[in-house]
Amino acid sequence: MIEHVYRRASAARGMSRVVVLTDDQRIARAVTAFGGEVEMTASDCPSGTDRIAQAARAWPAQRVINVQGDEPLIDPAVIEAVAACLARPGESMVTVATPARSDEFDDPNAVKVVIGVDGRALYFSRARIPWHRDPRQTPAPVVWKHLGIYGYRRDVLLRLAGLAPSPLERGEALEQLRALEHGIAIRVVTVASAEPGVDTENDLARIAARLATRTSAVPASPQR
């Protein structure tokens, strides 16, 4: 799965470097075996954000994109969209959302995000948000599903990692809530559709079966 994520990230245009961060030697050996770049981090990082920040302290890059290791089907074009948004003046943290399917509304593994009129995240939750109180109201508000990718300006990433895990972050087990609780704005790029990530054993089996039928880990012509 890590190899698929790595190769898709490598296919995104404009990336100066792609590196896997891990505290597990088994993962490090697997990455080295397929020719990828890997860096070891401490085993006590409380979140992916903290793990990336630990490594980024030694990097010269001023913008960093975190593609989570459970997104083996991520479209390289999505990574490019995050990079383009992050490069705009005034943007400090960026993520992605897509319309949720009805069967994902109440699935705690499908994280939902409410987006303001300015395109910034208001809140993330494992619960169904927003709640459609009156079914007679049309159109119903869009339920947005959050995708496992973040872009950070380096100084914001390091500031975020320097903050203690926040109450909402601990309660929902969602690291992005630490940013919102401390007033760090998160821009949300929306896409019409997205490939599923791996949250459960059933997800893993379904995606493994899909990948087994493909001739390449990376789509030949990613959508733009």
- CA distance linking residue 156 with residue 47, whole number of Å: 16
Q: pTM for the full model?
A: 0.85
- CA distance linking residue 6 with residue 31, whole number of Å: 9
- Per-residue confidence of the chain (224 residues) as pLDDT tens digits? 888 899 999 999 989 999 999 999 999 999 999 999 999 999 988 888 899 999 999 999 999 999 988 888 889 999 999 999 999 999 999 999 999 999 999 999 999 999 999 999 999 999 999 998 887 777 888 999 999 899 999 999 999 999 998 999 999 999 999 999 999 999 999 998 777 666 677 776 777 777 777 644 444 333 32
Enumerate domains of the chain plus CATH numbers.
Answer: 2-212 (3.90.550.10)
| CB neighbour class for 142 (10 Å; exposed up to 12, middle 13-18, buried from 19) | middle
